[in-house]
Amino acid sequence: MDYLKQNEINQLQDIAYEIRRLTVEMVVCGQWGHIGGSFSLAEILSTLYFKELRIDSYQAKSEHRDYLILSKAHCSPALYAVLALKGFLRIEDLYNYCKIGGLDGHLDMLETPILEASGGSLGLGLSYSAGVAYGLRLKEKFAQRVYCIIGDGELSEGQIWEAAMFASHYRLDNLIAVVDYNKVMAKGFVHEEMSQEPLVERWKSFGWNVIEADGHDVADLHKAFYTAKYLEVRGKPNCIIAHTVKGKGIEECEFNYQWHTHAPSVKKGEEFLMELAKRYNKEYTGLRCLPKSKDDGSLAIVIGGE
């Protein structure tokens, strides 16, 4: 087993902080977005992009790459943030989030070619991912993996389970589904709106191998990804159920459905950034962009927090 060293753990945690910080700035700047579900993804994305994925910063669409499909595409701020931190996007591009000609609120690979898939309607991502995994199998590209991140509320979509049956039937052990199990949907708790339990047994009944992990512990996530990628390649697709906290990092947002879709004001955004900096023992630098003013419609961007 390839265990993470402490310096690697520290790096991945720092990246998770940056994902959250940039998410706040993007949502404040664009005055739209999903903070709760983006925050619950931070450690998952930092571990995938900076430890697990076979990707080349100089040739993003290499034919030998691994694939990452974000099925819960409304949580685009977190993905855009990690792509910028990885060097696939410019940091300044993030501040055009939800602006005409800028990054879309939902993923659009025609507008942002670095993305592996577009998204919007929930439930589509796993079908797309299964198709990619099946195509790689037909081409005998056995080393590559396809990762699909799914929301727990999204599991209510029937298409998810059709794709799960397809992947199991065709023994797609190069496919790894990651369930962001943050327990909260747009209007309330998952167990109240549409319970997914018993979740482990449900995935197993569809012919999948299941691994559970603490979705905010990068070492535990790495162990789960390593197991799925190298140890459980036995003719079954793998599902990693990542137990997470909606809105992780900001007390007001944690397990709070009211922060599923909500853009904080400039004042509230600054409070969130101060809380994040304190929690992660970082220096508070302030918002680096402001929303359009009511007077002239301009967007103020100050790179570097000056």
Whether residue 296 lies inside any domain: the answer is yes
| 3-state SS, residue 3 | coil
Residue 244 lies in a domain: yes
- Residues 280-286: contacts with CB under 8 Å, at least 24 apart: 280/13, 280/14, 280/17, 282/17
Residue 1 domain-assigned (yes or no): no
In a domain, 20, yes or no: yes
Strand-pair category, 289-290 with 300-301: antiparallel
14: in domain: yes
Task: Encode pLDDT of 31-54 as tens digits.
Answer: 889 999 999 999 999 999 999 999
The per-residue pLDDT for range 82-96, each reduced to its tens digit, is: 999 999 999 999 999
CA angle 181, 31, 107 (to 5 degrees): 55
d(CA 23, CA 42): 10
Q: Reduced to 3 states, what is the DSSP secondary structure of residue 189?
A: strand
Cα 130–Cα 197–Cα 250 angle in degrees, nearest 5: 85
For residue 47, the enclosing domain spans 6-301
Would residue 159 count as lying in a domain? yes
**Predicted local confidence at residue 293, as pLDDT:** 53
pLDDT at 305 over 70: no
As beta bridge partners, residue 189 has 184
For residue 60, the model assigns a pLDDT of: 73
Tokens 């007077």 correspond to 295
Q: Looking at residue 19, which CATH number applies to its domain?
A: 3.40.50.970
Instruction: With respect to residue 106, please indicate whether it lies within any of the assigned structural domains.
Output: yes
Q: What is the pLDDT of residue 292?
A: 61
Q: How many domains does the chain have?
A: 1
Give a yes or no: residue 226 inside a domain.
yes
Q: Provide the token pair at 156.
A: 């209510």
> How many other CB atoms sit within 10 Å of the CB of residue 123?
19
